[in-house]
Amino acid sequence: MANSVQPLRRLAGLETEYAIRMPASAASPRSHYELYESLIPALRQRIPLADAALDKMGHFLANGGAIWFEMVRLTGEYGLIEGSTPECRGPRQLLAYQRAQDRLFSEAAAGSQSGPFTLLKNCRDSIGNYYGAQENYEFPIASGLRLACWRIGLALLAPLIPLTWMGLLARVLIYIALLLVYIVVSHLAFLLVIPFVRDRATIRRWLIDGILTSQGSPIEGWMETGLNFLALAICTPLALSMYLLLRLTAFVDVRKELTAFLVSRSVIAGAGTLDDGGHFQIAEKASGLNCLTGLGGFIDDRPVYTFGHFLKAALSEVWNLHRRYLRLFRRRQRLQIGLGDSNMAQTAEFLRIGTTMLLLDMLEDGALCDAPRLRNPLMALHTIAADPSLKAAVEMCDGSRCTALELQRWYLAAARRWLAEKPWHEEAHEVIELWEQTLDQLEHDREQAVGRIDWVTKLYLLSQAGTDASAAARKKIDLKYHQLGPDGYYAQLEAAGACALLATAAEIDRASRVPPSGSPASARGRFIREFAGESMAVNWDFVLLRRRFRTEVIDLDHYFRQQPREEAAPK
């Protein structure tokens, strides 16, 4: 039964991982973490910041967004800078906040105290490591019997959480004990071998300095690997149980009806890349995805639909655990999509968000229930990504074969029919018109999409480089296209007026300073502006104001729900 959903009103946000490029000619090379730390004061000169109250290094911005240092190794030396936009409504608003974030981070990197460095907004580095973008959309996790099963399952899983936490605490104690044993044994060994060796310095470096001073790390690689493996083993019962519950109950209709759309969406939103063999792929991340659903990195899984944030709600922020876990019982949750590239072209970014939001609106409205089904979505994803001619057909469940453009046109026609029954909505119609225009350009006059669609623009640049360009020069085009700042190749094209711009300078300026209205980010941003000079910490749901003898926890949801209806309306 139709729910009468209005278009483009749901909350949505983007997460973007930026690669760090430190010029090799830099006088004193710094680690990525040092560069991140030097970026924060430069960012603070542009906008008030507050510490993040999360188990992750980061800060929240007064416009409601956030900046993080993403790392895996405990050494903290290398990693990525990640940005999260505030929760927005509508693709135009989200586009403006994403562009504001790109600009704020880029300018702060250029003005960093450690010497200027640059950021790349892409999804693969020069040796093929994957990272990049995640999309988040507010959507009902389930309804009816599935929702009941989800909630019952959550209640049954609750006892596993304290057990997991106790295991993780024991792991820390094991780590401390191992470290002490290692220090004692290494010193004893050093003393014992002193009489028998001449090169004492080497032995000392090998046994003792390695653990105490190696690259500023308090932990040896083998010990870190062991501890990570132990953590994985401790978390596995909870992670596996939660994953099975999610697999059975979470976003089942989305996975059924939207997968063919997302798989074929690369033709409008792919960023393009040269693969390891020098062949052009229309999407950067597509070749790296290895499953449809997963926890996103728990066991090297790279899923299309990421469930990792549900597990994090049970395994992070112990001070806030009860509140975060209780929120998982709500019907509306965060749908996270890992299949999507970081876009430089504004048209591509606008369409990536806008088309997906529209189809989610249709699905929630009960108007999308007979979408095409792919026989093998991952194989189809890889086939489509590897075919810049857009002629490759992929196999459907009914035995027929469709090209990516045909799949996109099926969804476009369905969205147009649905929208025709709704009151006029300017932004939704803008999405539809631009979507159709782009598919026409891709099919009939691809050069028209240069400056609008990333992979087409990048392929055009590669063709301009000529056939005599070396493999390294071609790869440099692939990467430097994404460099933020005036020297980046996309930025140079944009400065020359060769790119279609949808977000106005005024919209981006505003998004660099104030949070979006009608969003939990509104209250978050305003609290940061008011209390940034005081002792405070912030996360996505709460603001913590530290007083002399107590910490006041302010629930942002409370302010969000109190907002008048007119303020909650999309702009």
Partner 1 sequence: MIRFSIEDESMTTQLAQDQHYAAPSLPESPSIPTREEALRNIVADSRRAPQTYLDEVVVPYGGE
Closest CA to 408 of 227, 265, 297: 265
Can you tell me which of 27, 398, 466, 550 binds partner 1, judged by CB under 8 A?
466
Q: Considering the rule CB under 8 A, would residue 523 count as an interface residue with partner 1? A: yes
* Binding-site string for partner 1 from residue 298 to residue 337, where x marks contact by CB under 8 A and - marks none: --------x-x-----------------------------
Contacts of 72-75 with C-beta under 8 Å, sequence gap 24+, read 73/224, 74/217, 74/219, 74/224, 75/215, 75/216, 75/217, 75/219, 75/224
Any contact of residue 477 with partner 1 (CB under 8 A)?
Answer: yes
| Closest approach of partner 1 to the CB of residue 15, in Å | 8
70 scored as a contact of partner 1 (CB under 8 A) = yes
Residue window 346-385: x/- pattern of binding to partner 1, with contact defined by CB under 8 A? ----------------------------------------
Span 254-293, contacts to partner 1 by CB under 8 A = 288
Single out the residue of 28, 215, 389, 464 in contact with partner 1 (rule: CB under 8 A).
464
The token pair at 80 is 């990525």
* Interacting residue with partner 1 among 64, 338, 354, 520 (CB under 8 A): 338
Classify 506 in phi/psi space as left (phi over 0), alpha (psi -120 to 50) or beta. Answer: alpha
- Count of residues that bind partner 1 according to CB under 8 A: 79
DSSP state of 145: H
Contact between 388 and 459 (Cβ < 8 Å): yes
Nearest approach, Cβ of residue 500 and partner 1 (Å): 13
Is the CB of 10 or the CB of 21 nearer to partner 1? 21
User: Where is 102: in which H helix or E strand?
Assistant: helix 91-110
Select from 68-76, 145-153, 183-191, 230-238 the region that touches partner 1 (CB under 8 A). 68-76
Pairing of strands 291-294, 303-306: parallel
Stretch that binds partner 1, among 75-83, 160-168, 235-243, 417-425 (CB under 8 A): 75-83
**CA–CA dist 289, 287 (Å, integer):** 6
By residue count, the chain amounts to 571
Stretch that binds partner 1, among 20-28, 156-164, 377-385, 429-437 (CB under 8 A): 20-28
235-254 residues near partner 1, rule: CB under 8 A: none
Q: Is 470 in the site for partner 1 (CB under 8 A)?
A: yes
Please list every residue from 119 through 158 that binds partner 1, using CB under 8 A: 120, 125-127, 129-132, 134
Q: Does 469 bind partner 1 (CB under 8 A)?
A: yes
Helix (H) or strand (E) holding 240: helix 221-249
22 binds partner 1 (CB under 8 A): yes
- Among 2, 145, 201, 472, contact with partner 1 (rule: CB under 8 A): 472
Could you tell me the smallest distance in angstroms from the CB atom of residue 540 to partner 1? 17
Looking up tokens 């014992």 gives 192
159 CB-contact burial (10 Å; exposed 0-12 / middle 13-18 / buried 19+): exposed
- Rounded Cα gap, residues 133 and 102, in angstroms: 13
Query: Smaller CB distance to partner 1: residue 121 or 425?
Result: 121
43 vs 390 by CB, closer to partner 1:
43
Q: Which is nearer to partner 1, 443 or 487 (CB)?
A: 487
What interhelical angle do 221-249 and 160-193 show, nearest 10? 170
Q: Which of 7, 48, 388, 520 binds partner 1 (CB under 8 A)?
A: 48
CB atoms within 10 A of CB 7: 24
Structure tokens at 382: 């890889």
In the complex, minimum distance from the CB of residue 455 to partner 1, in angstroms, rounded to a whole number: 16
Cβ-based neighbours of 182, under 8 Å, separated by 6 or more = 211, 220, 223
Q: What tokens were used for 449? A: 């999409």
Closest approach, Cβ 562 to partner 1, in A, equals 6
**Would you say 269 or 337 has its CB closer to partner 1?**
337
> Which residues touch 219 (CB under 8 Å, ≥6 apart)?
74, 75, 175, 179, 211, 227
Residues 481-500 that bind partner 1 (CB under 8 A): 487, 489, 492-493, 495-498
